[in-house]
C-alpha cells in the first residue's frame, strides 16, 4: 500500500522547466545578496545616520527653516509653481499623452497581422482557398515576425533611448515622445494582441464566413467587441507614461524631472517639493485611470 503511494509520488508529473527556473531564481538571489557590499559598507552606521538627519533637515522649505513657521510655506510653493512647476506639469502630461497615442496609432493597423488567429493562412482554421506558395509563406511568418518586433520594442529601456536621441535631435520633446512611444508600442502590441486573441471567436468566424476580408473582420467585429478592454489597457499605459515622462525630464527637458535634477545638491527643499508635486500628479492620474477602468469594465 505504502509502496504504491511512493510509486505514485515518484511517477507524478514533474515540470523540469519550472524546477530549473526556480533553481536559477534562487541562485540569482543568493548571489545578489552574498556578493553585494553591505549597506553600511565603508561609512559607519552612525555617520550615515548623521548624513541622513542633515539631509532630512534640508528637505524642509527654506523660509520655514529660517523662521520656523509653516505659514511661510504657502508663498514659497506659489512661487515654485509659477517659476516652472506648472509649465513642467503641463509638458509632462503632454509628452505622456502624445506618446501613448502615437504608439496606439502604430499598433492598431498591425494587430490584424499580429494576431495568432487572424494572420494565419487559414484564420480560425477556416479553409480560405488555395494560395500561391509565396503568400502562404508570408502569412505563416508575418505574425511571428510582428510579435517579435513587439518583443524587441518593449525590451528597449525608454530612458536610455531618450538619452541617445537627445544627443542626435537636440533638446526638444521629440526624443522623449519617441522613446516612450517605442517602448509602449511593444507593450500595447502584446496586451492588445492578447485581448484580440482571447475574444470571442464566433463573430469574426461569422464575418469571414460572409466573405469579409481579415481587416474588415478586425475593424467591424473584433475592434468594437473588445473596445473597452483595449481602452482599459490604453489608460493603464497612459498612467505609466506620465510617471516615465516625469523622470525623462532629468535628461534636461522642461518636465518635472529637469527641475528635480537642477535643484539636486543645492536646493534639496525645492527638489523634494517637485518630487511631491510629480507624485501627486501621478496619484491623480492613477485615480483617474482606475476610475475610467472601473467604468469600462
Partner 1 sequence: MSSAFELNGVTCRFGDLVAIDEVSLSIEEGEQVAFIGPSGSGKTTLIRLLNTTAVPNDGSLSVLGNAIADQSVESLRVLRSRVGTMPQHLGLVENLTAIQNVILGRGGQRSTLRSIRDLLVPSRGDTEKIHQLLERVGIEEKLFTTVSKLSGGQKQRVAIARALFQEPEILLADEPVSAVDPARARDTVRLLAELSRELGFTLCVSLHHLELAKEFFPRLIGLRHGRVVFDGAPDLLKDQQLESLYELTADEMMTDA
Partner 2 sequence: MNSTSGKWGRRRWIVLGIVILFFLCAKSLGLTPAGLIPPDETRWERAGAFFKAALSPAMDYQDENVPEDAPPIWLKGLYGLLLTLKFAFGGMSLAIPLALIMGFFGSSSWWPEPRGRILDLFLRGAFFGFRFLMSLLRSIHELIWALLILSAFGLSPLAGMVALALPFSGTLGKVFSELIDEESRDASTALKAIGHRPLQTFFVAMLPAALPNLITYSFYRFECALRSSAVLGFVGIETIGLYIELSHEEFYYNEVWTYFYLLLALIVLVDFWGAGLRVRLNSFKGGCEA
* Angstrom distances, CA of residue 291 to CA of 32, 37, 195, 208, 229: 39, 44, 20, 36, 14
The residue within the footprint of partner 2, chosen from 7, 23, 28, 144 (CB under 8 A), is 28
Query: DSSP labels for 192-241?
Result: HHHHHHHS-SHHHHHHHHTT--HHHHIIIIIHHHHHHHHHHHHHHHHHHH
- CB 26 → partner 1: shortest distance, Å? 17
* 18 in contact with partner 2 (CB under 8 A): yes
Nearest-CA neighbor of 219 among 297, 109, 138, 135? 109
Shortest approach of partner 2 to residue 145 CB, angstroms? 14
Closest approach of partner 2 to the CB of residue 150, in Å: 10
Residue 170 contact partner, candidates partner 1, partner 2, none, CB within 5 to 8 A by sort of partner: partner 2
For residue 67, give the 3-state DSSP assignment: helix
CB of 117 to partner 1, least distance (A): 24
Partner in contact with 126, chosen from partner 2, partner 1, none, beta carbon below 5 to 8 Å by kind: none
Q: State the cell numbers at 4.
A: 504504491
4 binds, among partner 2, partner 1, none (CB under 5 to 8 A by kind): partner 1
103 binds, among partner 2, partner 1, none (CB under 5 to 8 A by kind): none
Enumerate the H helices of the chain as residue ranges. Answer: 2-11, 16-34, 45-58, 62-67, 73-80, 86-114, 133-155, 158-169, 173-198, 202-209, 214-217, 223-248, 256-263, 268-296
Asked if residue 13 binds partner 1 (CB under 8 A), the reply is yes
* For partner 1, the closer CB: 2 or 71: 2
Give the separation between CA 224 and CA 116, rounded to whole angstroms. Answer: 19
Q: Is 168 in the site for partner 2 (CB under 8 A)?
A: yes
- Site for partner 1 contains 4 (CB under 8 A): yes
Could you give the CA distance from residue 115 to residue 25 in angstroms, rounded to a whole number?
32
Residue 128 cell numbers, joined: 480560405
Provide the minimum distance between the beta carbon of 22 and partner 1 in the complex, in angstroms, as a whole number: 15
Task: Report the distance separating Cα 206 and Cα 196, nearest Å.
Answer: 16
CB of 41 to partner 2, least distance (A): 5
Q: Among the residues of 249-267, which ranges form H helices? A: 256-263
The answer to the question of residue 50 lying near partner 2 (CB under 8 A) is no
Contact of residue 102 among partner 1, partner 2, none (CB under 5-8 Å per partner type): partner 2
Query: Interface with partner 1 includes 297 (CB under 8 A)?
Result: no
Query: What does the per-residue mask of binding to partner 2 show for 106-135, with x meaning CB under 8 A?
Result: ------------------------------
Partner that binds at residue 95, options partner 1, partner 2, none, CB closer than 5 to 8 Å by kind: partner 2
Which of partner 2, partner 1, none binds 215 (CB below 5-8 Å, type-dependent)? none
List interacting residues with partner 1 (CB under 8 A).
1-2, 4-5, 8-9, 12-13
Amino acid at each position: 500500500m505504502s509502496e504504491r503511494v511512493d510509486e505514485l509520488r515518484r511517477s507524478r508529473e514533474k515540470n523540469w522547466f519550472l524546477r530549473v527556473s526556480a533553481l536559477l531564481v534562487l541562485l540569482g538571489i543568493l548571489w545578489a545578496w552574498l556578493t553585494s557590499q553591505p549597506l553600511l559598507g565603508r561609512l559607519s552606521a552612525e555617520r550615515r545616520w548623521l548624513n541622513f538627519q542633515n539631509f532630512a533637515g534640508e528637505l524642509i522649505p527654506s523660509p520655514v527653516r529660517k523662521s520656523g513657521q509653516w505659514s511661510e510655506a504657502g508663498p514659497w510653493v506659489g512661487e515654485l509653481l509659477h517659476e516652472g512647476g506648472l509649465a513642467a506639469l503641463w509638458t509632462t502630461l503632454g509628452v505622456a499623452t502624445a506618446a501613448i497615442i502615437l504608439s496606439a496609432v502604430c499598433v492598431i493597423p498591425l494587430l490584424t497581422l499580429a494576431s495568432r488567429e487572424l494572420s494565419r493562412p487559414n484564420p480560425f482554421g477556416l479553409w480560405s482557398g488555395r494560395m500561391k506558395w509565396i503568400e502562404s509563406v508570408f502569412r505563416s511568418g508575418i505574425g511571428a515576425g510582428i510579435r517579435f518586433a513587439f518583443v524587441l520594442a518593449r525590451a528597449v529601456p525608454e530612458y536610455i533611448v531618450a538619452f541617445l536621441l537627445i544627443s542626435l535631435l537636440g533638446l526638444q520633446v521629440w526624443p522623449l515622445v519617441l522613446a516612450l512611444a517605442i517602448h509602449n508600442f511593444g507593450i500595447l502590441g502584446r496586451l492588445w494582441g492578447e485581448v484580440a486573441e482571447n475574444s470571442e471567436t464566433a463573430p469574426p468566424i461569422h464575418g469571414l464566413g460572409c466573405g469579409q476580408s481579415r481587416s474588415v473582420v478586425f475593424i467591424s467585429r473584433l475592434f468594437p467587441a473588445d473596445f473597452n478592454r483595449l481602452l482599459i489597457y490604453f489608460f493603464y499605459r497612459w498612467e505609466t507614461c506620465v510617471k516615465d515622462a516625469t523622470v525623462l525630464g532629468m535628461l534636461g527637458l522642461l518636465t518635472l524631472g529637469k527641475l528635480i535634477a537642477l535643484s539636486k545638491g543645492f536646493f534639496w527643499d525645492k527638489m523634494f517639493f517637485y518630487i511631491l508635486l510629480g507624485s501627486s500628479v501621478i496619484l491623480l492620474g492613477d485615480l483617474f485611470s482606475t476610475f475610467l477602468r472601473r467604468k469600462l469594465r
